[in-house]
C-alpha cells in the first residue's frame, strides 16, 4: 500500500517544506507530500492531518512525526521533525536581525503584504483542491462546512469546536458506512 | 543565573506544549500572559514586534516561542524554547500515530479517519479565511488571495509562481 520512502528522502522533503513555508507550512506540506512526491494520497494526508489537529501541538509537526514514523520508524520521525524545523529557525533568526533595519522601506512593506495575501490564498486553494480530490460524501460535506463556519465565520474557540464536531463527524461516518 | 533563565524558559513552554490543541494560535493569549504579565520578560511592544517577525518567517506559528527564547537567551534560549514547546506534543503524536497504525486495519479506526477528514478540510479552509481577513486590507489584497487560490485549484505548477507574482503585483501597485 505504502511505498518505500528513505530517511534521506524524508529529511529532504520536510526540509523543503520548511524552507518554502512562508505564510504557514500547511499548503506546502500538501504540495510536496501529495502532489510532488506522492508519498500518500490526499485522503490519507487529510486523515493524518486530522489526527494531528485534535492532538496538542502544531498539526503539521504532528503530521511530520506520524508520517516519519510510518515510513522509517523512530529515526524517520526525528529526521522529519528536524528537517521541518531547520530552515524556519535559521530564517527566523536572519529575519529578526534584518527586520528592524528594513521594515520602514515602503517596497519591503508592500512585498511582505503581497506575500501575506498570497499565502492566505494558498491555504484556501489547498483546502479547495483537497476537497475536489477527496470527493466527500454528503455527511462529510456537512461536517466540513460546519467546521469551516464555526472557526472561519463565527470564530468560535477551536478546542470547543473540535470536541463537539469530531465525535459527531465520526458517528456520522459510522452511520454512513452502515447505511 | 543563565542556567536559571534557561530552566525557566523550558518549564514555561513545556507546560504549554500539551495544552496547545490547534497549535500556537490557540495558546497565544496564554503565552502573552506568561511572558509579559507573569514573568515580565518583555513589554507589550516587544511582544508584538516578535509576533510580527514570527508570522513573516516560514514555518509554524510556534516560531514565536523560539523567537522569545532567542530574545531572552540567544541561541541556547532559542533551542531550549523550541524543544520545550515541541517535544512533549511530538512525543504524544508519535504515540498516537503508533496506536492508530496498530489498529488501522480495524473498522473503527477507518471510520474515525473518515470522520476526521472533513473536519481537517473545514479547518484548513477556515484558517485560510481568517488569514485572508488579517492580511487583505484592500481590493488588491483580496484579488491576490483569490488569484492565488484559483491558481492552486486550476494548476499543478509550483505554488511559488503564484506567490511570486502576487508579491510582485503588490510591490508594483504600491510604487506606481
* pLDDT tens, residue by residue, B85-137: 999 999 999 999 999 888 877 888 888 888 888 988 898 888 888 778 877 88
If you ran DSSP here, which 8-state letter would residue A100 be given? Answer: H
- Domain assignment present for residue A15? The answer is yes
- Contact with chain A for residue B12, Cβ under 8 A: no
- Domain assignment present for residue A174? The answer is no
- Domain assignment present for residue A67? The answer is yes
Cell output for A52:
494531528
Chain A residue numbers touching B103 (CB-CB < 8 A): none
More confident residue, B45 or A136: A136
pLDDT of residue B24: 66
- Domain assignment present for residue A113? The answer is no
Shortest Cα distance, chain B CAs vs residue A104, angstroms: 13
Chain A residue numbers touching B168 (CB-CB < 8 A): 114
- Contact with chain A for residue B97, Cβ under 8 A: yes
- Domain assignment present for residue A115? The answer is no
**What ipTM was predicted for this assembly?**
0.82
Chain B residue numbers touching A123 (CB-CB < 8 A): 124-125, 127-128, 131
Which are the contacts of B5, defined by CB distance < 8 A and separation ≥ 6?
B72, B73, B77
Chain A residue numbers touching B156 (CB-CB < 8 A): 35
Count of domains in chain A?
A: 1
- Domain assignment present for residue A123? The answer is no
- Domain assignment present for residue A20? The answer is yes
More confident residue, B19 or B112: B112
Size of chain A, expressed as the number of residues it contains: 179
Per-chain mean pLDDT for chain A: 88
- Rounded Cα distance, A131 and A125, in Å: 10
Which are the contacts of A132, defined by CB distance < 8 A and separation ≥ 6?
B153
Domain with A43 in it: 7-105
- Domain assignment present for residue A17? The answer is yes
Is residue A33 within 8 Å of A39, Cβ to Cβ? Answer: yes
Cβ <8 Å between B58 and A134:
no
Is residue A60 within 8 Å of A52, Cβ to Cβ? Answer: yes
User: What confidence category does residue B48 fall into, taking pLDDT thresholds of 50, 70 and 90?
Assistant: confident
- The DSSP bridge partners found for residue A57 are B21
Cβ <8 Å between B20 and A56:
yes
- Across chain A, the runs of DSSP E, i.e. the strands, are none
Shortest Cα distance, chain B CAs vs residue A11, angstroms: 15
Segment among A25-39, B18-32, B54-68, B75-89 with least mean pLDDT: B18-32
Q: Which residues of B38-50 are buried (b: 16+ CB within 10 A; e: fewer)?
A: eeebbeeeebebb
Asked if residue B50 has pLDDT above 90, the reply is no
- Backbone Cα Rg of chain B: 20
Residues of B numbered 42-81 whose beta carbons fall under 8 angstroms of chain A's beta carbons: which are they? 50, 52-63, 66-67, 70, 78
Distances (CA, A) of B20 to A39, A131, A153, B27: 28, 26, 22, 6
- Contact with chain A for residue B109, Cβ under 8 A: no
Task: For residue A172, give the nearest of B98, B115, B146 by CB distance.
Answer: B115
Cβ <8 Å between A129 and B153:
yes
Per-residue pLDDT of chain A (179 residues; tens, 9 = 90+): 457 899 999 999 999 999 887 667 888 899 999 999 999 999 999 999 888 888 888 888 999 999 999 999 999 999 999 999 999 999 888 888 887 677 678 887 788 788 878 888 888 998 999 899 888 999 999 999 999 999 889 988 777 888 899 899 999 999 988 76
Cβ <8 Å between B90 and A113:
no
Chain A residue numbers touching B78 (CB-CB < 8 A): 89, 93
- Contact with chain B for residue A56, Cβ under 8 A: yes
Cβ <8 Å between A121 and B130:
no
More confident residue, A20 or B61: A20
Interface probe with A: pick from B13, B25, B60, most Cβ of A within 10 Å? B60
Amino acid at each position: 500500500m505504502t511505498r518505500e520512502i528513505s530517511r534521506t528522502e524524508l529529511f529532504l522533503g520536510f526540509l523543503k517544506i520548511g524552507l518554502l513555508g512562508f505564510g504557514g507550512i500547511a499548503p506546502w506540506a500538501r504540495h510536496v507530500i501529495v502532489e510532488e512526491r506522492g508519498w500518500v494520497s490526499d485522503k490519507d494526508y487529510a486523515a493524518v492531518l486530522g489526527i494531528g489537529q485534535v492532538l496538542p501541538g502544531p498539526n503539521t509537526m504532528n503530521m511530520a512525526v506520524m508520517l516519519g514514523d510510518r515510513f522509517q520508524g523512530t529515526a524517520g520521525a526525528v529526521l522529519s521533525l528536524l528537517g521541518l524545523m531547520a530552515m524556519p529557525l535559521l530564517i527566523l533568526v536572519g529575519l529578526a536581525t534584518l527586520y528592524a533595519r528594513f521594515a520602514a522601506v515602503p517596497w519591503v512593506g508592500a512585498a511582505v503584504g503581497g506575500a501575506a495575501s498570497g499565502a492566505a490564498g494558498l491555504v484556501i486553494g489547498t483546502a479547495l483542491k483537497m476537497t475536489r480530490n477527496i470527493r466527500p460524501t454528503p455527511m462529510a460535506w456537512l461536517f466540513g462546512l460546519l467546521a469551516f463556519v464555526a472557526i472561519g465565520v463565527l470564530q468560535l474557540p477551536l478546542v470547543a469546536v473540535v470536541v463537539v464536531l469530531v465525535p459527531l463527524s465520526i458517528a456520522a461516518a459510522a452511520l454512513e458506512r452502515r447505511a | 543565573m543563565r542556567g536559571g533563565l534557561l530552566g525557566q524558559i523550558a518549564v514555561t513552554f513545556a507546560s504549554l506544549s500539551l495544552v496547545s490543541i490547534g497549535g500556537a494560535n490557540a495558546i497565544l493569549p496564554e503565552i502573552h500572559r506568561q511572558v509579559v504579565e507573569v514573568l515580565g520578560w518583555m513589554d507589550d511592544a516587544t511582544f508584538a514586534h516578535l509576533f510580527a517577525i514570527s508570522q513573516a518567517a516560514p514555518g509554524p506559528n510556534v516560531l514565536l516561542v523560539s523567537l522569545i527564547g532567542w530574545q531572552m537567551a540567544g541561541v541556547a534560549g532559542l533551542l531550549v524554547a523550541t524543544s520545550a514547546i515541541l517535544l512533549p506534543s511530538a512525543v504524544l503524536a508519535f504515540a498516537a500515530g503508533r496506536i492508530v497504525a496498530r489498529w488501522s486495519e480495524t473498522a473503527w479506526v477507518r471510520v474515525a479517519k473518515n470522520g476526521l477528514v472533513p473536519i481537517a478540510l473545514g479547518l484548513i479552509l477556515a484558517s485560510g479565511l481568517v488569514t485572508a481577513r488579517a492580511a487583505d486590507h484592500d481590493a488588491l489584497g483580496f484579488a491576490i488571495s483569490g488569484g492565488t487560490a484559483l491558481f492552486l485549484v486550476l494548476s499543478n505548477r509550483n505554488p511559488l509562481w503564484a506567490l511570486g507574482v502576487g508579491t510582485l503585483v503588490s510591490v508594483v501597485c504600491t510604487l506606481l
